[in-house]
């Protein structure tokens, strides 16, 4: 009922998302890639300061992010496929199971 009300009054269609799942979030993938790179390059964690972290993040500025979005289930033209995102390995995101 509330969905019909939103659409008829405001023209907005509510989308109800499932509970949070990192498989569908490209930000989680970028974060895990950044952390993995920082662990490879900087072995002494006590010397990681803000400028080093920012420089590692800016390394992704020219990174082609389309494959990451596709791997998270965002398959183009505002289409989403949950089956694609759910096929990911949890260790790829930095989770130890």
Q: Render pLDDT for 41-84 as a digit per residue (tens, 0 to 9).
A: 776 656 667 787 788 778 777 888 888 888 888 887 778 887 77
Angle of CA points 51, 29, 54, to nearest 5°: 5
For the cut 50, the answer to whether the pLDDT of residue 1 exceeds it is: no
Give the tokens for residue 57: 């993040």
Cα separation of 35 and 53, whole Å?
9
Residue 4, domain member (yes or no): no
Quote the domain boundaries for residue 28.
21-93
Q: What stretch of H or E contains 5?
A: helix 2-10
Whole-number pLDDT of residue 15: 62
Question: Is residue 3 one of the residues assigned to a domain?
Answer: no
Provide the number of structural domains found in the chain: 1
Q: Is residue 65 helix, strand or coil? A: coil
**Per-residue pLDDT, 28:** 85
Has residue 87 got a pLDDT over 80? Answer: no
């Amino acid at each position: 009922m509330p969905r019909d009300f939103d659409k008829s009054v405001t023209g907005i269609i509510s989308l109800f998302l499932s509970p949070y799942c990192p498989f569908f979030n490209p930000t989680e993938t970028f974060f895990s890639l950044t952390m993995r790179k920082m662990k490879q390059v900087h072995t002494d964690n006590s010397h990681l300061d803000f400028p080093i972290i920012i420089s590692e993040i800016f390394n992704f500025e020219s990174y082609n992010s389309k494959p990451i979005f596709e791997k998270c289930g965002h398959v183009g033209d505002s289409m989403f496929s949950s089956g694609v995102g759910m096929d990911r390995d949890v260790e790829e995101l930095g989770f130890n199971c």
